[in-house]
Amino acid sequence: MTPTPKFLKSLPKIELHMHIEGSLEPELMFSLAQRNGIDLPYDSVDALRQAYDFSNLQSFLDLYYQGANVLQTEQDFVDLAMAYLGRCQQQNVRHVEIFFDPQTHTERGIAFETVINGLHRGFMQGKKQYGISFELILCFLRHLSEDSALNTLEQAQPFRDKITGVGLDSSELGHPPEKFERAFAAARAQGYRLVAHAGEEGPADYIWQALQLLQVERIDHGVACTEDPALVQYLVEQRIPLTICPNSNVRLRVFDTMADHNLRELLDAGLKVTLNSDDPAYFGGYMLENYQNVQNALSLTQAQWMQLTANAIDASFASDGRKAALYQQLMACFD
Ligand code: HPA
Ligand SMILES: [Zn+2]
């Protein structure tokens, strides 16, 4: 059966790799800038959107960190979360696991508690209003020091019950996972679930490091694994999930076009692949736009879409009861 656009829309979606700061749409950026009296170096929403023409990860991150400056108050973080959840509701996204970058905010004088309390309030409101379940994952910025990461972990301690996991993001090349071995050991000792970006622009060896030194249970991106057959075999045997972000990979020139993406190779190898939007406001869309672009370029089967969704449910940090409910929603698409 060839999947129709209606089928793609109807699939219950589980998003495991989305940076909340990357869901800041230009319109909201401008309205928060105005509310907080901040000058943006762009005349209009259109001028800002036109700047979203990236040559690599760093060229994106420079704009992403600049954009985050408009986030100042707890209410700003509530509004950011609710704007994202409104899109989720429209696209039948039912469960989300959200990255946030505390250091992006604490480094410019915003209190940790402003960030976590705003995000938690926003996602709780979305859960009540839309029934979208969520988990929050604190990410260390890998271009900063390990001491800064450890300090961030300390700041998180009073909010331990609001944070499910710890991850690693930002500039990958030159900042290998091994740099954060102590910080991840400390997070593990506190019972956090562990993930890390690895093998987006960096080599397969960074994926090995994330698994062996940081002991993460999911790899974010991980597309570079196909450079190393022994690594692919290990990932398959250990059923390690990969959170793949197709639009992101094309926008950041990891692959020239969607047709060149190695998603099918990953699926054919038996890897536990999931699809995600990464930074939807910067990369041309949310979950459904990723699904549509993948389908247009790579023509997956209904069975593959079912597999991708089942993988995401299984790979999620949701409770067993929540996972069972999500599986039921998935099965209903095939009645
Ligand atoms: O795609 C990404 N990679 C690394 N760091 C990030 N921070 C936001 N998005 C990304
Ligand atoms: Zn990411």
Tokens read off for 17: 């790799």
C-alpha to C-alpha distance for 2 and 244, rounded to whole angstroms: 22
Identify whether 229 is part of a domain.
yes
CB atoms within 10 A of CB 115: 26
* Site of tokens 């970058």: 101
- Scanning 101-145, the segments in alpha helix (DSSP H) are 102-106, 112-130
199 touches ligand 1 (CB under 6 Å): no
Q: How many angstroms separate the alpha carbon of residue 50 from the centre of ligand 2?
A: 21
Structure tokens at 112: 């940790």
Query: What's the token pair of residue 286?
Result: 């949310």
Assess whether pLDDT exceeds 80 at residue 1. no
Tell me, rounded to whole angstroms, the distance of Cα 335 from its chain centroid. Answer: 31
pLDDT in tens, 136-159: 999 999 999 999 999 999 999 999
Residue 335 CA to ligand 2 center (angstroms) comes to: 34
Beta pairing class for 193-198 and 165-169: parallel
Helix, strand, or coil here: 198?
strand
Give the CATH number for residue 37. 3.20.20.140
Q: Which of 15, 74, 97, 200 is catalytic?
A: 200
Q: Where does residue 217 fall: left (phi above 0), alpha (psi -120 to 50 degrees), or beta otherwise?
A: alpha
* Residue 102: predicted pLDDT: 98
Whole-number average pLDDT of the chain: 98
Residue whose CA lies nearest to ligand 1 atom number 1: 278
Whether 278 is in the pocket of ligand 1, judged by its Cβ within 6 Å, is yes
**63-110 pLDDT, tens per residue?**
999 999 999 999 999 999 999 999 999 999 999 999 999 999 999 999
Q: How far apart are CA 323 and CA 319, in angstroms?
A: 6
Q: State the complex-level ipTM.
A: 0.96
- Rounded Cα gap, residues 84 and 20, in angstroms: 8
In the chain, the number of structural domains is 1
What the block records as the tokens of 25 is: 């749409």
pLDDT of residue 200: 98
Q: Pull the structure tokens for residue 193.
A: 């679930």
Which 8-state DSSP code applies to residue 278?
B
R_g of the chain computed on alpha carbons? 19
Residue 259, amino acid: A
**What value does the mean pLDDT take over residues 114-121?**
99
Is residue 194 in some structural domain? yes
Contact criterion met (CB below 8 Å) for 40 and 29: yes
The full DSSP string for 234-253 is HHHHTT-EEEE-HHHHHHTT
Q: Are 261 and 39 in contact (CB under 8 A)?
A: no
- Asked whether the beta carbons of 101 and 128 are under 8 A apart, the reply is no
Active site residue 107: no
For the chain, give the percent of residues with pLDDT over 70.
100
The strand pair at 133-141 and 193-198 is best described as unpaired
| Inside any domain, residue 167 | yes
By most ligand atoms within 8 Å of CB, the mutation choice from 15, 18, 54, 60 for ligand 1 is: 60
Q: Report if residue 310 sits inside a domain.
A: yes
Residue 147 belongs to domain spanning = 14-332
Is the residue at 307 inside a domain?
A: yes
Give me 118's structure tokens. 């705003």
Kindly state the average pLDDT of the residues 181-193. Answer: 99
Amino acid at 180: F
Residue nearest to atom 7 of ligand 1 (CA): 170
Contacts of 287 (CB under 8 A, 6+ apart): 13, 15, 88, 91, 93, 275, 276, 277, 280
Ligand 1 touching residue 243 (CB < 6 A): no
User: Which atom of ligand 1 approaches the CA of 21 most closely?
Assistant: 8
Looking at residue 12, the DSSP 8-state letter turns out to be -
Q: Is there a domain that residue 168 lies in?
A: yes
Does 2 map to a domain? Answer: no
pLDDT digits (tens, 9 = 90+) for 251-264: 999 999 999 999 99
